[in-house]
Amino acid sequence: VSTADEIRDLLFAYCWHLDRGEYDDVRELFVDPSAAGDLDETFVRPIGAPTTKHVCSNAIITLADSGTEASVRSYFLAQQQLEDFPLQPVAAGRYHDTVVLVGGSWRFVERRVLRDFIGDTSRYLRSEIDA
């Protein structure tokens, strides 16, 4: 398992927990949990889990010379389906991350979410969010 694999695991853990509404676990992926943003204010709380699926792909990892910090750009594609909401893509965009190795684990220092494409987000994002 390479350093790149470990960093990708961090990206995937974020999606995994987000898709299941496990926001505490999402926050634990950050050096400073508050840097995760206010997830309850951003996302419509899923009923049951998972109700979205964030495909994270195309991760380009730039490792610092120290080997303990990296910047990462990746794509996400969020799919959603609910009983009264047919399977469809609801958003797509980019994650711009700074990650760091602390205590043997990679963590997010910062994650910028760039929502380039927005579909029907009525069941995904809270309306007050400027997507």
Residue 72 β-bridge partners: 61, 97
Among 16, 35, 101, 123, binds a copy of itself (CB under 8 A): 16
Q: Which of 35, 39, 101, 118 binds a copy of itself (CB under 8 A)?
A: 118
b/e for 23-60, b at 16 or more Cβ within 10 A? beebbebbeeeeebeebeebbbebeeebbbbbebeebe
Q: Let me know: does 95 contact 76? Beta carbons within 8 Å.
A: yes
Q: Residue 61 interacts with a copy of itself (CB under 8 A)?
A: yes
Please provide residue 63's backbone torsions phi and psi, each rounded to the nearest 5 degrees.
-85, 135
Considering the complex, state which of residue 41 and residue 65 has its C-beta at the smaller distance from a copy of itself.
65
Give the one residue of 25, 42, 69, 79 binding a copy of itself; rule: CB under 8 A: 79
Q: Which residue ranges make up the site for a copy of itself (CB under 8 A)?
A: 1-5, 9, 12-13, 15-16, 50, 53-61, 63, 73, 75, 77, 79-81, 86-93, 116-119
